[in-house]
Each structure stands twice: as C-alpha cells, then as structure tokens.
Amino acid sequence: MGAQRSISWAPGGSIAVSSVGASNTEDGVPFRILDPRAQNVSAILSMKYQAHLIFTSDMSVAEKSKSYRAVIQECIEALAKEHNPSAQNLQLLDVVTEGHKILWFCEALYFVDESKDSALSLLRDWLRVHDAGVDEAVQSYLDGGDETQFWQVVSRLAAIGRREDATELVQTRIQNVDSRAMGAAALGDAGSSEPIYVAEAALLDAPPDTAEARLDGQFRVWQEECIATLEALDVKSGDNQLGLLLGVLGGQPSALQKSCRSWEELFVAGYLYTRVGGDPADRRKRSVEIASAFQATHKALLALADSNPPESIVVLARPGEYFYSAHLADLFSRAGKLDLYMVPANDQKSLRDYFVSEYALSLETLRGTVQLSADYLLSCGRRGEEILTDILCRMETQSAADPAVEKVFALSKKLSPKRSEMVVRKICTRLASNCAVIGNSAGATYWFTRANDAERAVAQAEASLTSAEIGGCHSAGAEALDRTAEAISVCDNPLIQEKLDYLRMYSELQASLINADEESSAARDAASSASALLGANGGLPEAHWGVVVYDCASILLPSTDARAEGKPIGIGKDETYSLLKALETLSASTGAHRDSLLEGLRQRNSAADPEQLLSTVRLKLMRNLAFCILSEN
C-alpha cells in the first residue's frame, strides 16, 4: 500500500503536507511545512504569516513590538530588492515604510521602560533610519561647506542626540584649522575662549546619555553649566553660532527650533533635552509644544506624540489595509491603554476588536490565510466568533475531496459548540446537495447525516434503497446501497444511524440473495435478514415490504428441472410466518395506499401483474410452511 498523504496545519497557518520520513510532527502527524519565505510567497504575505506567529505568541508587549518591527523591516528590504518595480510596488513600499516608522515611534514612546536606556536610543535610531536629512547635511558640509554650515550641522547633530558625531566633527575641524587664522596662542589650548574649543569642552563634558544619568541629576547639572557658559560668553563675545549650540545642549526651545529642520527632528530634540519632570506624558506634551514650529508629516505621529493612541490607530488605517492599525491596537490593548475606547457603532465594539476583526476579514481574500484570520477573530470575543462562523460557512467546498473541507471542520472546533455545529451543518449540507445533484445517493446520505438533517438523509437513503429494489441484488443499485449503508455506519450520528439501520440489513439481505439459489446457508441468512426487516421493529418502510417478500419467495421457486417439485430450501417456519404476515399486510391494504405498497413490485417486474405476483408468492410460502411443519413432525 502506498504512503498516505494528508493536509494539516503547520505553525503560522502554513499548509503542512504529510510525508514519509518527515522530521517535524504536529499532533503526532508527520508533515512538511511550505515555508512562507519561499520565493513563491510574496514579501507582504510572508510578513503577515510571521506577524501572526508574533500575535499568537506569549511575548511581552515590548518583545512583540520589536518583533513586528523586525518582520516589517524584512519586508521593506525584500520589496526594495525588486528589479524594475512597478508603480504599485513602489506605493506598497511607501505604505510598509510608513507603518514601520509609526510602529517604531510608538514603541519608543509607549512600550519600553523609561527607566532604561532603550527609549532614548530607540528614538535616536528611529530618526537616523527614517529621516536622512541630517546625514545629507553632514555630507554636504564635508563636500566643501563653510564655517556657517559647520556650526549648523554640529548644532543639528547635537539637537537630535548624536553628540558623538557632533564631537567628532568639532575635533576634526580643530585638527584641520589654519594655525595662522587661529593664532599661535590659541592652538592646542583647550581652555581657550575660541568658540570651537568651548564647543568641544561642552560636548566632552556631557554625561553618558543614559536614563540613569537623567534620573540622578547629572544630565540636568550639565545642561545648567551649558546655559551658564552661554550667559557668560554672551557678555564677552556674543557669538551666535556657539550660542546656538550651547542653547541646544542646555535645552532652550528656541535654540532647538533653530537647529532642527523637521517635525521629527524637533520632537526628538525636545524629548531628549526638555527639562520637565520625568513623567513620560509630560515630556511628550512639552516636546509636542516645541515641535509645533513644524508641520507633522503624519497625523498618526502627532497623535502618538500628543498621548492619543486611539487617534493614531484610526488615522493609520486605510480601506482594505488594517495590518498596522490592528497590530498597533492589539499592542496598546495589551499594555492597558485602550480599555475605555469604543468604536461609535451600535454594538459598541472595542477599538482593538474592531481593527483586528477588519484585518482578519481582509486576510480572507489571500492565499492560505484562513488559519491566520481565524486566530485573529477568535481573539475578538463574541463578535469575532460571529465573523469567523460566517467566513467558514462561505468557504468554497464543492466536494469531499477538497482539502478545505477538513480545514473548515478543524477550525470550527475552535468555536463555541453552537457555532461549530452551525458551520459543520452548513458545509455538510452544501456537500450533500452537490452529491444529490450528480446522483450520488451514498455521498448525499452521508453528508446529510453529518449535517444532522434527518429528513433529507432519509430521503436520500430511500432513493438509494429504491434503486437497489428495482435492480435487484445483482444491480448497480445494490452496489450503491452497499456504499450508502457503509457511509452511514461511519457517521458520528447515533440517532440517524439507528433510524437508517434498515439500509444495512437490506444490504445484507441482498448480499445473501446473491448465493441463495446455490447455498442453503445463504438462503437462511437472507430469510433471517428479511424477517428482521419486516414488522414494526424492523424499521423498513412498508412500501418496500413487497419486494423483500418477493425476493425471499423467489429462492423457493424452481429454477431448474432438478427442482421441478419446488422443494423448499433453507427458509424456516418462523421466517416463513414473518414473510406471510408481511404479505397479508400488503394484501389487506386498499385504494391508493395499496397502489403505493405494490409500486415496488411493479417496477421490479414490469411484465407481471402485481396481484398475480402476490398470489404466486403466497402459494410458495404456504407450500414452504407446510413442508416445515411436516419436517418437524
């Protein structure tokens, strides 16, 4: 027997195909994972697969945020590598880059511990990656800028927290300055009042830019010294260029505003140098006030800076693209910052659940993402279950061979029992109807049984039984009945199985009839099955009794000259009584009811008169009964 292959779920919603010798297992089933990072998987789809793994993990909020950033960065790099990208791809790259920028900014302000260095370093790194204006200005100066440009660049670097880079520029200029212009007395004199040496001293005196230095007052003391130096130099030299740098280091808003060239730069500068209390909300508020000199490049950034996470989530969303809003809302919710925010709708769904469910719905249209969609929806409570139920019921499942069928059933188990039953019933009913259309009574009976639709399951079973009844035990209808009986036996529906158990017995009867002419044991089995079927406890509808009695009586009829005397074979007295009793029930019927009971006989033997057939059958049964009684005596 060849190796069996089946489809299962792999981590992240990937398709897992069972394979011999596979090293990985899930629920004890070997499988091979189709890597979402493979070449045939788009960068966007890969990003969504990996984000789903993060979403369903037990990471902390900070770890999740950092992991999301890494996944989005990987997507950006993949999109940037495309040769001859289309306008659509370039637009997509802009969207992903924007999402990365906002999530990173949010992480720095909300999801890391302010008492550690990570918040400050995250903001500096965020600006370095997403605002290249400073680096361009530095390069422009290095390519031949003048002294004015030098001071502008140094002040700008210092303002956004890159004091090491500013110090390096200052020291490089000191080394390269013309000794004749500086004067021999000033050369090498670190205590000189020359502006460049004062700038170097102020930068070198700065404490480590750590949270600890800010908390213990070192940073504040250094800033006050910079302001004192500025005030002293104001009297002596009035040097505006040096004064601008000292004002930046001292945290003067006007100096920060003159040094920066964008809202992002100015906000970071305000956050790094503001001298308000240590509360993050106060620092954000003060930084927003300082940064108001420029127009914010994105409303979501302004909302985050202004301590309004819900607004940032809303403005970040785009029609059909809720990836960033959904994950950002989930992070804020896990951090306990969205508890009171609701969507202005009738159901008053939470902001987090609204965007997560909208994102899950958008996944429905992508290849291989139903599992992802399910996990997102199941995190949204009752409304999420309602949406997932609707999605599963809509899934295209045209035949039992479709792998999606078992996937839907597996996902439905994650729902509440009531909704799970709804999904299973919907899918099974669809499959049953498709089987019925093509005349597959066995398949239709099976799926209607799984759908717990007893009425239609019985109707299909009746159709299968009628086909076997008309064709007899050697017909294709008999084979179809065997399949129907087998299908019912494997259904997990005891009530319908019991109700349709007569199909199994009828199938066994026909199997025995095949060899009843030659084997007395087969005849006895056939008579036993017939006796069990007939009567109130047999379950077989009366409309089929006539053919059962006829088939059993047929084995009593002579089929060869050697049996011209009609010697009965293998049907006992009790079984004969049962057959005669059923026959009399048919004979006692009248009118339309009688016609319906004899319809099976008419179709089975269209050349004979049903009334004549009843008489012949009665005669043969009476002769067999007499033989049985004589044999006992």
In this prediction, residues 59-82 reach a mean pLDDT of 92
Instruction: Decide if 162 is inside a domain.
Output: yes
- Give CA separation, 49 vs 98, 323, 368, 373, in Å: 20, 12, 10, 10
pLDDT in tens, 257-286: 999 999 999 999 999 888 655 677 888 889
Please give the residue range of the domain that contains residue 632.
527-633
Tell me the pLDDT tens digit for each residue of 458-481.
Answer: 888 778 777 777 777 767 777 777
% of the chain exceeding 90 in pLDDT: 25
**For the residues 243-264, what does the mean pLDDT come to?**
93
Whether the per-residue pLDDT at 155 is higher than 80: the answer is yes
- Residue 554 placed within a domain: yes
Q: Please give the span between the terminal C-alpha atoms of the chain, in angstroms, as a whole number.
A: 57
Sheet with 29-33: strands ordered across: 7-9, 15-17, 29-33, 24-26
Q: What is the mean pLDDT of residues 117-142?
A: 86
* Residue of 318, 255, 307 whose CA lies nearest to 284: 307
> Sorting pLDDT into bands at 50, 70 and 90, what band is 34?
very low
Question: What is the pLDDT at residue 187?
Answer: 40
Indicate the residue among 350, 366, 394 that finishes a domain. Answer: 394
Q: Three-state SS string across 311-324, please?
A: HHHHHHCECCECHH
Instruction: Say which residues have a Cβ less than 8 Å from residue 18's Cβ, sequence separation at least 6.
Output: 4, 5, 6, 7, 8, 29, 30, 31, 32
Query: Any idea which of 28-32, 142-146, 289-293, 523-527 has the lowest mean pLDDT?
Result: 28-32
Highest mean pLDDT among 161-175, 268-282, 541-555, 572-586: 161-175
Mean pLDDT of 70-83: 90
Q: Are residues 80 and 15 part of one domain?
A: no
Does 68 share its domain with 173?
Answer: no
For residue 365, tell me if it sits in a domain: yes
- Checking if the pLDDT of 75 tops 90, the result is yes
- Asked if the structure places residue 301 within a domain, the reply is no
One domain for residues 56 and 143: no
298-321, pLDDT tens digit by residue? 999 999 999 899 899 999 988 778
566 and 548 part of one domain:
yes
Distance (Å, whole) CA 113 – CA 409: 44
Note whether 82 and 95 are same-domain residues: yes
Q: Can you read off the two tokens belonging to residue 158?
A: 């210092």
Do both 2 and 42 map to the same domain?
A: no
Same domain, yes or no: 110 and 159 = no
What mean pLDDT is reported for the chain?
Answer: 79
Q: Are residues 285 and 165 in the same domain?
A: yes
Q: What is the pLDDT of residue 6?
A: 34
Least confident of 290-294, 449-453, 532-536, 576-580: 532-536
Give the whole-angstrom CA distance, residue 239 versus residue 193.
11
Same domain, 254 and 365: no
| Domain co-membership, 292 together with 314 | no
- End of a domain among 394, 412, 438? 394
The phi and psi torsions of 33 (rounded to 5 degrees) equal -85, 130
Q: Are residues 579 and 593 in the same domain?
A: yes
Whether residue 445 lies inside any domain: the answer is: no
- Structural domain contains residue 420: no
Distance CA 623, CA 626 (A): 5
> How many C-beta atoms lie closer than 10 Å to residue 47's C-beta?
24
Q: What is the pLDDT of residue 232?
A: 84
The pTM is what? Answer: 0.71
What's residue 339's pLDDT?
Answer: 63
In this structure, is residue 12 part of a structural domain? yes
Residue after which a domain boundary falls, among 274, 296, 318:
296
Lowest mean pLDDT among 125-134, 409-418, 604-613: 604-613
Answer yes or no: is 442 within a domain.
no
**CA-to-CA separations, 79 to 43, 72, 625, in angstroms, rounded:** 7, 11, 88
Q: Is the pLDDT of residue 139 over 80?
A: yes
Q: How far apart (Å, rounded) are the C-alpha atoms in residues 12 and 378? A: 15
What is the distance, to the nearest Å, from the Cα of residue 493 to the centroid of all Cα atoms in its chain?
30
pLDDT of residue 221: 92
Please determine, for residue 161, whether its predicted confidence score (pLDDT) is greater than 70.
Answer: yes
How many of the other CB atoms lie within 10 Å of CB of 629? 11
Q: How many domains does the chain have?
A: 4
Q: Is pLDDT of 565 > 60? A: no
Q: pLDDT class for 186, splitting at 50, 70, 90?
A: very low
Predicted confidence (pLDDT) per residue in 415-444, tens digit = 888 898 898 888 888 888 888 888 888 888
Confidence of residue 55 (pLDDT cuts 50, 70, 90): very high
Number of C-beta neighbours around residue 190 at 10 A: 10
72 in the same domain as 165? no
Mean pLDDT of 311-333: 91
Backbone angles phi, psi at 9, to 5 degrees: -95, 140
